[in-house]
């Protein structure tokens, strides 16, 4: 079982819907990440939070809005998504950024945009 929990596991939404993806870890990690993974491709970094502050935004469209309410939780708010946004969205955490520490991944939310 992964120590990073993501909900929901699957999500189907229309282009006009608003939904949120949730990620939770209780390992005391202070860095959390969102990745997007298309089929048969490696994960692509979207956002990095360090000590609950957004430190990296990899030029992600504004229809994706991250939020870190506390050190254990990371949300990704979705609004007006496009069909090409259908993908597996992975959350990860690590003790901190700026080191060689491993990232622990959740099992992802598989998102389908109709």
Which residues 6+ apart lie within 8 Å of 93 measured at CB?
4, 25, 27, 29, 31, 32, 33, 74, 103, 104
Distance CA 110, CA 11 (A): 6
- Return the closest-CA partner of residue 113 out of 89, 91, 90, 85: 85
Site for other proteins in 38-97 (CB under 8 A): 40-45, 48, 56, 90, 92, 94, 96-97
Tell me if 23 contacts other proteins by CB under 8 A. Answer: no
Tell me if 102 contacts other proteins by CB under 8 A. Answer: yes
| Phi, psi (deg, nearest 5) at residue 85 | -80, -5
Distance in Å, CB of 42 to other proteins, minimum: 4
Choice between 42 and 83, CB closer to other proteins: 42
Stretch that binds other proteins, among 14-22, 67-75, 78-86, 101-109 (CB under 8 A): 101-109
Residue 61 CB neighbour total at 10 angstroms: 11
Choice between 62 and 100, CB closer to other proteins: 100
Contact pick of 34, 47, 64, 105 for other proteins (by CB under 8 A): 105
Tell me if 108 contacts other proteins by CB under 8 A. Answer: yes
Distance CA 23, CA 76 (A): 8
Residues that bind other proteins (CB under 8 A): 2, 4, 31, 40-45, 48, 56, 90, 92, 94, 96-108
């Amino acid at each position: 079982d992964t120590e990073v929990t993501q909900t929901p596991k699957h999500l189907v939404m229309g282009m006009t819907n608003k939904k949120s993806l949730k990620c939770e870890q209780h390992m005391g990690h202070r860095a959390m990440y969102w990745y997007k993974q298309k089929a048969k491709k490696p994960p692509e970094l979207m956002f990095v939070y360090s000590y609950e502050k957004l430190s990296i935004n990899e030029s992600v469209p504004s229809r994706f809005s991250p939020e870190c309410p506390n050190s254990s939780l990371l949300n990704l708010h979705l609004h007006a998504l496009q069909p090409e946004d259908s993908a597996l969205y992975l959350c990860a955490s690590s003790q901190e950024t700026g080191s060689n520490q491993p990232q622990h991944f959740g099992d992802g939310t598989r998102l389908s945009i109709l």
